[in-house]
């Protein structure tokens, strides 16, 4: 055993899945994953692994997670560092929504010790399963002194990546992720991970012909916040702008992101439905965060009682350093 101690938290996902007649389903637990990782480490001739303590938190496909599940994972990851003898934390998670859960954890990760998320694109019983090697790489990242103070990182199919600005770029490539910018700012939540009910935040995709009533429907269902996945640098139809104005008047926080992978969301265009008009109606541009991460940040902020100005300040501080 090495002198360092890592906590491995397993949550399900493809990394823990076996192929069945009904499709791939997460079935493996932490002990199974560690055995596969040890085999991969031995085959690669890797250095001796540190002491590993495991936590079987859940066994779910990440596409089926609820927001409450994501906060449970965040509580477990942050809580694991309450032990001063722990050197770092590795979380196995499905790749469909890893960018959201890992970013949520990052918001509360004040401790400089590493937290690393990993997963897989191929089920564990696939002949070329990538999960075991990814777990080995994630553990190596978690014990690397260079990882300290970097916030939550993700290791899937390559070198560690910062979770801030991360998004999934492929359904099948082993290199599943990219980042919108490599050095985004890292504002942190000032409060502990909440244990009770969280704020409801809806994401709405915008496109030519979208019904403006979809925003009113979210407001009617008591959404505290809405994230718009807009076109271009944050643009839409003037009818959407009118509904945004009504939502803001009812106290809903509206954030404008984009469906475009790269570049900044900024108020550049007018014409009634451009980001200039949306901001004038009371919306906030997300800057560099895409809709999934903008939404989970807004959930955390509104659950803590953040005001519109505090949300705007958070997003501004998320810009590249």
What's the chain's average pLDDT? 96
- Rounded CA-CA distance 315/284 in Å is 9
pTM, whole model, 2 decimals?
A: 0.96
Identify the active-site residue in 95, 97, 198, 236: 95
95 in a known ligand binding site: yes
Percent of the chain with pLDDT over 70: 98
- 10 catalytic residue (yes or no): no
Domains and CATH numbers, the chain: 5-179 (3.40.50.1170), 201-318 (3.40.50.40)
- 14 catalytic residue (yes or no): yes
- Rounded CA-CA distance 120/123 in Å is 7
Identify the active-site residue in 10, 11, 14, 49: 14
Interstrand relation of 88-92 and 51-60 (parallel, antiparallel or unpaired): unpaired
241 in a known ligand binding site: no
pLDDT given at position 48: 66
- Rounded CA-CA distance 84/113 in Å is 10
In this predicted structure, the answer to whether residue 2 has a pLDDT above a threshold of 60 is no
DSSP 185-242: -----SSPPP-S----EEEEE--TT--THHHHHHHHTT-SEEEEEEBTTTB--HHHHH
Task: Kindly state the tokens that stand for 229.
Answer: 């996945």
In this predicted structure, the answer to whether residue 5 has a pLDDT above a threshold of 60 is yes
pLDDT given at position 1: 40
- Asked if 122 and 129 count as a contact pair (C-beta separation under 8 A), the reply is yes
Q: What is the mean pLDDT of residues 15-36?
A: 95
| 47: CB partners within 8 A, 6+ apart | none
Which has the minimum average pLDDT: 6-10, 39-43, 182-186, 194-198?
A: 39-43
Tens digit of each residue's pLDDT (9 = 90 or more) over 140-182: 999 999 999 999 999 999 899 999 999 999 999 999 999 999 9
- Specify the residue for token string 């009371």: 282
62 in a known ligand binding site: yes
Tens digit of each residue's pLDDT (9 = 90 or more) over 198-257: 999 999 999 999 999 999 999 999 999 999 999 999 999 999 999 999 999 999 999 999
Listed residue (109, 91, 96) closest to 65, CA to CA: 96
């Amino acid at each position: 055993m090495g002198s360092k101690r890592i906590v491995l938290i397993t949550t399900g996902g493809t990394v823990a899945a076996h192929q069945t007649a009904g499709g791939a389903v997460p079935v493996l637990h932490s002990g199974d994953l560690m055995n596969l990782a040890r085999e991969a480490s031995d085959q690669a001739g890797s250095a001796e692994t540190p002491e590993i303590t495991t936590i079987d938190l859940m066994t779910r496909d990440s596409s089926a997670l609820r927001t409450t599940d994501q906060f449970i994972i965040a509580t477990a990851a942050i809580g694991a560092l309450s032990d001063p003898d722990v050197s770092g934390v590795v979380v196995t998670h499905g790749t469909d929504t890893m960018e959201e859960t890992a970013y949520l954890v990052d918001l509360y990760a004040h401790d400089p010790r590493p937290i690393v998320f990993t997963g897989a694109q191929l089920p564990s019983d696939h002949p070329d399963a990538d999960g075991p090697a990814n777990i080995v790489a994630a553990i190596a990242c978690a014990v690397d002194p260079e990882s300290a103070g970097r916030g939550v990182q993700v290791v899937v199919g390559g070198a560690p990546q910062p979770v801030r600005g991360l998004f999934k770029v492929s359904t099948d490539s082993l290199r599943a992720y990219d980042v919108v910018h490599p050095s985004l700012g890292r504002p942190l939540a000032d409060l502990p991970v909440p244990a009770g009910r969280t704020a409801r935040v809806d994401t709405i995709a915008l496109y030519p012909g979208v019904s403006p009533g979809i925003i009113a429907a979210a407001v009617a269902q008591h959404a505290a916040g809405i994230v718009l996945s807009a076109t271009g640098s944050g643009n839409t139809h003037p009818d959407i702008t009118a509904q945004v104005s009504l939502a803001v008047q009812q106290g809903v926080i509206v954030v404008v992101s984009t469906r475009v992978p790269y570049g900044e969301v900024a108020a550049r265009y007018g014409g009634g439905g451009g980001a200039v008009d949306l901001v004038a109606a009371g919306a906030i541009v997300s800057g560099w965060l895409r809709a999934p991460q903008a939404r989970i940040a807004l959930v955390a902020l509104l659950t803590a009682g953040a005001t519109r100005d505090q949300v705007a300040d958070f997003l501004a501080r998320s810009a590249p350093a």
